[in-house]
């Protein structure tokens, strides 16, 4: 189909790769992820894979199951061997993890690992004191280092108060909370990597660990 502003493409689809959304036939999330591998970078594909694998929080969302499992994405790759971009998609799936709550969190994790830092845990509930549980975006429990990405919403007054209380909880428990902003993520997240590396080194981590 061709019309002004629309370019049509032909492809082979399994029945479950096409779904209806408000009466419009579209490709499924997993098939769209694969199709995007033609144009997206490995990092971008990993961000999307993390989003698909993410386990939702029922108290905040209207769903209880992830959009896809790792097996779903593996099956999609196995169905379409040889399709353009599939090598990038396979690399992205190897890098994908369950637990990231946002694209910046995934990009931060990848930047830390690319720089040779240890792989952090993702959004794991951590008991700091009796009855006080915090869930840092990324964490290194063995070093008592937590890393939080502060997006734009953290500039609101109420959120600032909550952020201060959270940081005080970590400090009282002997943890160091590393706060990362959009500024730290510029230039391939060099400032973010340097900040986390300094903190880990201060806690006894070695590049040779």
* 161 and 121 within one domain: yes
Q: Are strands 145-149 and 138-140 parallel, antiparallel or unpaired?
A: antiparallel
Pick the last residue of a domain from 76, 98, 120.
98
Domain range for residue 109?
A: 99-209
Q: What is the number of domains present in the chain?
A: 2
Pick the last residue of a domain from 80, 98, 116.
98
Q: What is the DSSP string of 12-70?
A: ---GGGEEEETTEEEE-HHHHHHHHTTTS-HHHHHHHHHHHHPPP-TTTSS-SS-S--H
pLDDT of the chain, 209 residues: tens digit per residue: 567 887 777 778 999 999 999 999 999 999 999 999 999 999 999 999 999 999 998 888 989 999 999 999 999 999 999 999 999 999 999 999 999 999 999 999 999 999 999 999 999 999 999 999 999 999 999 999 999 999 876 667 778 888 899 999 999 999 999 999 999 999 999 999 999 999 999 999 998 77
- Cα angle vertex 75, ends 73, 78, to 5°? 115
Judge whether 8 lies within some domain: no
pTM here is: 0.90
* 85 and 133 within one domain: no
């Amino acid at each position: 189909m061709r019309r002004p502003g629309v370019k049509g493409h032909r492809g082979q689809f399994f029945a479950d790769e096409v779904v209806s959304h408000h009466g419009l036939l579209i490709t499924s999330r997993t098939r769209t992820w694969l199709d995007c591998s033609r144009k997206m970078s490995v990092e971008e594909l990993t961000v999307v894979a993390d989003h698909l694998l993410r386990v939702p929080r029922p108290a905040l969302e209207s769903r209880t199951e992830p959009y896809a499992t790792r097996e779903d994405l593996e099956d999609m790759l196995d169905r379409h061997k040889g399709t353009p971009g599939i090598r990038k998609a396979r690399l992205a799936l190897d890098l994908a993890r369950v637990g990231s709550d946002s694209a910046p969190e995934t990009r931060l994790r990848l930047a830390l690992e690319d720089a040779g830092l240890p792989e952090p845990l993702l959004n794991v509930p951590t008991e700091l004191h009796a009855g006080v549980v915090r869930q840092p975006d990324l964490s290194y429990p063995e070093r008592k280092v937590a890393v939080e990405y502060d997006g734009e919403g953290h500039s609101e007054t109420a959120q600032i108060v909550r952020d201060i209380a959270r940081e005080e909880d970590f400090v009282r428990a002997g943890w160091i909370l590393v706060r990362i902003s959009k500024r730290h993520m510029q230039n391939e997240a060099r400032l973010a990597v340097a900040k986390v590396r300094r903190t880990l080194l201060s806690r006894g981590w070695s590049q040779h660990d």
